[in-house]
């Protein structure tokens, strides 16, 4: 099929590259001319394993192109995806200005029937607004064209997005029936061969499904963090608890790891948006509100443990930090726990030397001009003379360090393990004081 995708952010770029890989002709549209020029050269502005190769290979084959010419993209496409950002407003609502701007652009240049697909994460009722925007403009132009609007939410995990798209758990298609549903099913046929993964539903149910999925996962994370904090107080080990409940097939092991809170571009924004949607209907989503409150508090837990060890005055102390991205295999620092931790440490006079395998460029941009924050190119460079090590992101390269070498470089042998990577008993035997999440405090022996 001939597809156009408005927006070359995370969702738009992955969607375009994966559809192109299956032989479709894909034209990605963005208003940022410099970004488009870079993509035309095969320069991918985000880190996502496998994405750069897909973009370059399909660009070379002619299946994937990039442009700023919205009119040309609309004319040559049968199906148009809207994959622009929906940032959270101050009240937590999703900002739909870019979605509706694209809808208006589509209606301005349409000269034949189209299927328009909402791929962005949007509140319930957005497809209706997109349809109204397009229909009213088409009627004013008197074109006689028709437009079918579909909700097709994405369920991509940063760090595993290519695999998630190529081998999806489910493909949700929200439509009012008619030919649009059949067209979408044909488009996804290459990803739906082993078993039927397509779930057809009405548009509003599809829109709510996306929010429901992310809020469900965020709830599991916040619940485990709540239990971890309680475990610290009652002398239990949350890792033993995790294994004990994970063996229950009704619960399973996914998303029950305690830590320093969730971040990224999806969970925080979508939790806020669902709270706002509930408020607009006059309903208070108390559980969802608690999920957000627990997560905000959890981002401070490691700092509170550090203050408990060193005291509130951190002037003159330097701390090593391993991990800046909100999760491994991405360079995304949006809403990352590391940012809250860095702000808390520097506000108390401490200096931070931080390392991340992929997020260094973003971190240097965020902390440019802040002489209390140094972004290092290796994990070892953060350690020299540091008063302690904080582990914030569970990158594989942090899982098995040379503890003897690490201890020799640190001024004080103390580890604040925000992702429970290390066995407290083992590192304590090696001479470290270990602070985990829900694992108690293990002073050096």
Look up 376 and say whether it is catalytic. Answer: no
Distance CA 435, CA 1 (A): 54
Distance CA 22, CA 7 (A): 20
Joined together, the tokens standing for residue 154 give: 């994405």
Nearest CA-CA partner of 16 in 106, 102, 91, 79:
79
Strand partners, 353: 320, 374
Distance CA 135, CA 156 (A): 31
CA distances from 78 to 5, 152, 401 (A): 11, 16, 53
φ, ψ dihedrals at 373, nearest 5°: -120, 125
CA distances from 117 to 26, 81, 371 (A): 14, 5, 46
Contact 15, 152 (CB under 8 A): no
Tens digit of each residue's pLDDT, the chain (445 residues): 999 999 999 999 999 999 999 999 999 999 999 999 999 999 999 999 999 999 999 999 999 999 999 999 999 999 999 999 998 888 888 899 999 999 999 999 999 999 999 999 999 999 999 999 999 999 999 988 899 999 999 999 999 999 999 999 999 999 988 899 999 999 999 999 878 899 999 999 999 999 999 999 999 999 999 999 999 999 999 999 999 999 999 999 999 999 999 999 889 999 999 999 999 999 999 999 999 999 999 999 999 999 999 999 999 999 999 999 999 999 999 999 999 999 999 999 999 999 999 999 999 999 999 999 999 999 999 999 999 999 999 999 999 999 999 999 999 999 999 999 999 999 999 999 999 999 976 555 4
Choose the catalytic residue: 18, 28, 147, 266: 266
Contact 310, 433 (CB under 8 A): no
């Amino acid at each position: 099929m001939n597809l156009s995708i408005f927006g070359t952010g995370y969702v738009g770029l992955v969607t375009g590259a994966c559809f192109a890989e299956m032989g479709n002709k894909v034209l990605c549209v963005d208003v940022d001319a410099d970004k488009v020029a870079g993509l035309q050269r095969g320069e991918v502005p985000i880190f996502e394993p496998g994405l750069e190769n897909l973009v370059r290979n399909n660009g070379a084959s002619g299946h994937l192109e990039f442009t700023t010419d919205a009119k040309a993209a609309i004319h040559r496409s049968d199906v148009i995806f809207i994959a622009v950002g929906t940032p959270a407003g101050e009240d937590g609502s999703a900002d739909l200005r870019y979605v509706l701007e694209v809808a208006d652009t589509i209606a301005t240049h349409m000269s034949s029937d189209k299927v328009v697909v909402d791929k962005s994460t949007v509140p319930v009722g957005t497809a209706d607004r997109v349809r109204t925007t397009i229909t009213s403009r088409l009627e004013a132009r008197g074109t006689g064209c028709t437009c079918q609007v579909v909700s097709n939410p994405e369920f991509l995990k940063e760090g595993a997005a290519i695999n998630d798209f190529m081998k999806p758990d489910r493909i949700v298609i929200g439509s009012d029936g008619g030919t649009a549903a059949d067209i979408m099913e044909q488009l996804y046929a290459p990803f739906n061969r082993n078993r039927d993964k397509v779930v057809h539903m009405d548009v509003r149910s599809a829109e709510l499904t996306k929010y429901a999925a992310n809020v469900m996962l965020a709830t599991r994370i916040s619940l485990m963090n709540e239990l971890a904090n309680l475990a610290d107080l009652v002398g239990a080990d949350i890792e033993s608890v995790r294994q004990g409940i994970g063996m229950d097939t009704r619960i399973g092991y996914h998303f029950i790891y305690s830590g320093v809170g969730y971040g990224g571009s999806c969970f925080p924004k979508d939790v806020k948006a669902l709270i706002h949607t509930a408020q607009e209907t006059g309903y208070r989503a108390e559980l969802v509100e608690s999920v957000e409150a627990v997560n905000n508090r959890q981002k401070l837990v490691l700092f509170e443990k550090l203050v408990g060890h060193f005291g509130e005055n951190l002037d003159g102390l330097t701390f090593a930090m391993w991990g800046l991205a909100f999760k491994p295999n991405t360079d995304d620092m949006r809403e990352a726990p590391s940012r809250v931790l860095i702000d808390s440490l520097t506000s108390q006079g401490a200096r931070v030397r931080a390392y991340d395998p992929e997020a260094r460029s973003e971190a240097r941009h965020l902390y440019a001009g802040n002489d209390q924050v140094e972004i290092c190119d290796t994990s070892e460079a953060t350690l020299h003379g540091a008063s302690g090590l904080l582990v914030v992101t569970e990158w594989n390269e942090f899982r098995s360090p040379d503890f003897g070498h690490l201890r020799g470089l640190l001024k004080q042998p103390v580890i604040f393990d925000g992702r429970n990577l290390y066995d407290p008993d083992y590192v304590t035997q090696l001479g470290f004081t270990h602070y985990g999440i829900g694992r108690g405090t293990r002073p050096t022996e």
